[in-house]
Chains A and B, each alone.
Chain A
Amino acid sequence: MKIHIKNGRLVDPQNGVDAVRDLYVAAGKIAGVGSRPGGFTPNRVIDATGLVVCPGLVDLAARLREPGFEYKATLESEMRAAVAGGVTSLACPPDTDPPLDEPGLVEMLKYKAKILNQAHVYPVGALTQGLKGERLTEMAELRDAGCIAYSHADEPLTDTLVLMRALQYAATFGFSVWLRPEDAFLVRRGVAHDGEVAARLGLAGIPAVAETVALARILQLARETGARVHLCRVSSAEGVDMVRGAKERGLPVSCDVSINHVYLSEMDIGFFDSNAHLIPPLRTARDRDALREGLRSGTIDALCSDHTPVDDDAKQIPFGESEAGATGLELLLPLALKWAEECGVSLQQALAKVTHAPARIMGIDAGHLSPGATADVCVFDPDAWWRVEPGALLSQGKNTPFAGLEMRGQVRFTLVGGHIVFEA
């Protein structure tokens, strides 16, 4: 299959390209940029006039819910959602049922994803067995099965010695450990940021110090063990400050934030809207602004969807009992564009946050359009407006705090490995 994408605005942040250039795809690879390779006769020509042609998006956190939670979503439904959102590579957290703590489970997931032939799936292995925070997993075996990193998802890892040992062991092999900073004791039964809104609504609070206390512990251990640590879903202004300080002192940490936390605050809980029940909790407008600025300045390296499909039965119950999480794969691109527009960030810089920056964190060769690279491409209309109708989302998770909002930027074509896997 040879594809010629012509007249599009090619934006390739890794290569510093933002210009109208044609893209040539052959044998699953990028065959040429700007100039037609010799003897290239396309089977298909895509006219991308007025459209943006960029690397396929790379998402650091997308829960596919397999194995174990197929009633919430299936690999099939979520992979369709991914490519509809222009996402061609995604990392999936280990909090499946059972958790991704055995090579067999990882191989099965990779295999099932491969035969669907849609986005590339990169499992993140469990850091401890059963995510119980007691015994280490066979990290090297998991790596051989296809894990790109190890994490504890949203499960508490309270024993500091276990955390230190896990980081030491990962550092032995140069593995990357992804941790969401949160002190389980300070969370307890909390369901919302411990601030004005939780006080008013009588919701049990999760203070910002739950994040900073845990961050301090992780940063000290990262320095001590030399492990490569990636910090997931930072949520507070103080947290952003600490990450900046750590980076300034030369600690090799990276950091991401979810699309939800870049736009929303505790106020969006309104009158107990369980769609705004998220992990970590939505914090104050000041925190949100610090996250947006942190993303701009580079303290926060990447933006992710934190895609978490939840079934209706788990949302149509009182806020405190409802399951946290929101669907996000189909919203990652328009929300990245919206952030760029509102913060005066160039399109190139914005797309970097969802392409080559996350690819680098994952340690994969993706998120760029260099000749010879795997042809994972997203072609989108930057000016097309669409309305978030939960029923129309392809993800099985219809739960989103952005329901009813107008989004700008709509995917027209998604290519994975040189094949058109989505077309609208």
Chain B
Amino acid sequence: MSAADLPDAETLVRRLLEQLREVIGPETALVGIRTGGAWLAERLHRELGIGVPLGTLDVSFYRDDYERRGLKTDVKPSEIPFDVEGRDILLIDDVLYTGRTIRAAVNELFDYGRPARIRLATLVDRGGRELPVAAAFVGAVISLPGGENINLERDAEGRFRLSVMRP
């Protein structure tokens, strides 16, 4: 797939916003997964006017590929500025692929408390799942050959763009 075939990220954001507006309650919290998911969550949090402060996860300490890849050099602190116990949580990521990152994020969330519910929202679902993970809200479903990766970029004005990375 070439960059020209990729959907426009801004359109996908609007699509997601429409879906999420329907399901947001007053106690719903947004949690973005670094880095792309955190950018996206920041945007959604603002546009949806959510009252609960935004959470951010860096799942480095929960990844299952630590044995093979080690710790990445730029780990940032996770910030969950609300009580997770009994919370309705919307987990936000940019691209859903194997599901391993989501597994790590869910595990990390549980170390902050026992949420009432976690639902997953993602801008792109590119298939290739290796774990029983499904997103409740999706901007677009795309099929991509293994080995290629979709990447979310954010420019200086905060506009999103999708790109394809080949190894």
Direct contact of A and B (CB under 8 A): no
Task: Give A contacts to B, CB under 8 Å.
Answer: none
Binding site for A on B (CB under 8 A): none
